[in-house]
Structure 1
Amino acid sequence: MPEASRTSYPGRVRALLDDLDARSGTAIGEAAALLLRSVEADGIVHVAGAGHSLALVCETFYRAGGLAAVRPMWDPAVLPLDDAVRSTRAERQEGLGRSVVREAAPAPPDVAVVFSTSGRNPYPVEIAEECAALGVPVIAVTSPRASRHAAARTETALADHAAVVLDTVVPPGDVLHPPEAPRTAAVSTVLAAYTWSRVLAELDDLAVAKGVELPCWTSANVPGGDETNRALLARYGHRVPELTGLT
């Protein structure tokens, strides 16, 4: 790749994607195998994140091509859309993550997936810690490099409580541009969404190899999508109340 291409924003993103593949390729396979075991045993995948990591929770939930056996595990206080400052306070508030887990009540053979780039605020750490204590294995989607440079608001990091760590290779501070003094163009959502899509692709390959039919949503905008999704709603609606609003 020419020097100009390597230092451009697109080039730097592509380089990070290559780094992610190299660092997390094995772990992505482990995460997919863990999810397949859970789905085969009729488990639920509980997915958590706070602030902008909630974008990744949305990416996993009720999404075309995504698993139907997914339940968002969250508190409205961590959503930044109606009070951004409150959401920052909430993810730093001790005890909120634990209360979220108590409300969701995950149990084996469930799995938890926790998205947090820094993995150093109480909210994601508590969720991971509580799930692990309940015997529910945790897949952490995080950046150890960013975590090492983040303000330590907990004694442990998200990765410390995970059965599988997916390294998103997000740089400290998240931003990439300009390269000599980055101040804009955050990359964490791009990298974490790519990571999750890679997990789903690997999961599909494993399921096909084992002859397992995955419960996946179909786009509602293609013929037959509504019919396929109605069957999945009947199967999971009573276990994932967020699908129908019956919370």
Structure 2
Amino acid sequence: MPAATTTYLEAIRRLLTQLEEHETSAIDQAGQRVAQSITAGGVLHVFGSGHSMLAAIEPTVRAGGLAAVNLLFDAALSPTDPSRVSTVERLPGYAGTILQHTSVEPGEVLIVISHSGINPVPIEMAAGARERGLTVVAVTSLEHSRRASSRHVSGRRLYEVADIVVDTHAPFGDTTVDLASAGTGAVSTILACAAVNAITVRAAELLAGNGADVPVLVSQNVDGGDDHNERQIERYRR
């Protein structure tokens, strides 16, 4: 196997091990809050901008995932238009507009995903959700965030405005392979997806342990999958 490929795959394994060894407590706390919200009739909201949106999409209508998941989606923040999202996610006040048009309730949980945690939109999304009585879970790289300057007027970073912080342990600059001319080998999306799925798996485990109905979706490519999923999703149509 080429050296760079080996280095990259080894970095993923090493960072996933760090996630497991150091973030179990935070993942457990987040899972407990999600389970409590679902038990009370609430849902799990997820948000990310740029490539962090990919990790927010991951648990949404996911086979083996929870039906009670609501993606806070805004097309202007999609990574499919890099030049646009890099501008929009730095706009003060933009997150408040998204929240105004979103059905969020006190007692629910919002996971905000941001590798750097320094841009106004994810920071204000977290702060605005907390003001509305939600528990906010930040999935972010503390190494990157602590080394980068906040772009928010308050000077705060995402991890400083969240209730629970899950550190992805992704490196500063999101590269793991050093080449002669540049760094490469991004890992933030992989680690964020692992963290978010770990939270939802823990929530499902807690719901099952309490004897509750676990609203888990199945693959639409198995017999009866469409009917099962439609029944589950209908419970959270709002």
Q: TM-score range by the shorter chain?
A: over 0.9
Secondary structure, counterpart of 1:11 in structure 2: helix
Partner of 1:227: 227
Shift of 1:8: 2.2
Partner of 1:201: 201
Shift of 1:146: 0.9
Residue 183, structure 1, aligned to residue 183, structure 2? yes
Work out the CA distance in 1 between the residues paired with 2:180 and 2:145.
22
Q: For 1:113-169, what per-residue CA distance to the aligned partner results, in whole angstroms no more than 9, with x for missing partners?
A: 100011110010000000001111101111111101223201111111211111100
Residues 180 and 213 of structure 1, relative CA distance in 2, 3 Å threshold:
farther
Residues 25 and 181 of structure 1, relative CA distance in 2, 3 Å threshold:
farther
Q: For 1:76-113, what per-residue CA distance to the aligned partner results, in whole angstroms no more than 9, with x for missing partners?
A: 111131x3201110001111111111111412122111
Partner of 1:62: 61
Work out the CA distance in 1 between the residues paired with 2:53 and 2:227.
28
* Matched residue type, 2:136: V
Residues 233 and 105 of structure 1, relative CA distance in 2, 3 Å threshold:
closer
Residues 66-81 of structure 1: pairs in structure 2 closer than 5 A: 66-81=65-80
Instruction: Indicate the structure whose relative CO is greater, using CA pairs within 8 Å and at least 6 residues apart.
Output: 2
Shift of 1:201: 2.3
Work out the CA distance in 2 between the residues paired with 1:121 and 1:12.
26
Residues 138 and 179 of structure 1, relative CA distance in 2, 3 Å threshold:
farther
Partner of 2:46: 47
Partner of 1:128: 126
- Between 138-147 and 194-203, the greater mean CA deviation after superposition: 194-203
Shift of 1:37: 0.2
What is the aligned length? 233
Work out the CA distance in 1 between the residues paired with 2:220 and 2:82.
31
Residue 216, structure 1, aligned to residue 216, structure 2? yes
Partner of 1:150: 148
Q: How much identity, in percent, do the aligned residues show?
A: 37
* Matched residue type, 2:18: D
Work out the CA distance in 1 between the residues paired with 2:17 and 2:182.
20
Work out the CA distance in 2 between the residues paired with 1:78 and 1:8.
31
Q: For 1:149-193, what per-residue CA distance to the aligned partner results, in whole angstroms no more than 9, with x for missing partners?
A: 223201111111211111100101001113788611100011111
Aligned alpha-carbon RMSD (Å): 1.8
Shift of 1:20: 1.1
Work out the CA distance in 1 between the residues paired with 2:20 and 2:89.
29
Q: Tell me, which stretches of 5 or more residues in structure 2 are unaligned?
A: none
Work out the CA distance in 2 between the residues paired with 1:98 and 1:45.
19
TM-score, length-scaled by structure 2 = 0.92
Secondary structure, counterpart of 1:230 in structure 2: helix
Instruction: State whether residues 108 and 134 of structure 2, in contact with CA within 8 Å, keep that contact through their aligned partners in structure 1.
Output: yes
Moved over 2 A (4+): 178-182
Instruction: State whether residues 42 and 109 of structure 1, in contact with CA within 8 Å, keep that contact through their aligned partners in structure 2.
Output: no
Instruction: State whether residues 34 and 43 of structure 2, in contact with CA within 8 Å, keep that contact through their aligned partners in structure 1.
Output: no
TM-score, length-scaled by structure 1 = 0.89
Q: Tell me, which stretches of 5 or more residues in structure 1 are unaligned?
A: 240-247
Instruction: State whether residues 175 and 182 of structure 1, in contact with CA within 8 Å, keep that contact through their aligned partners in structure 2.
Output: no
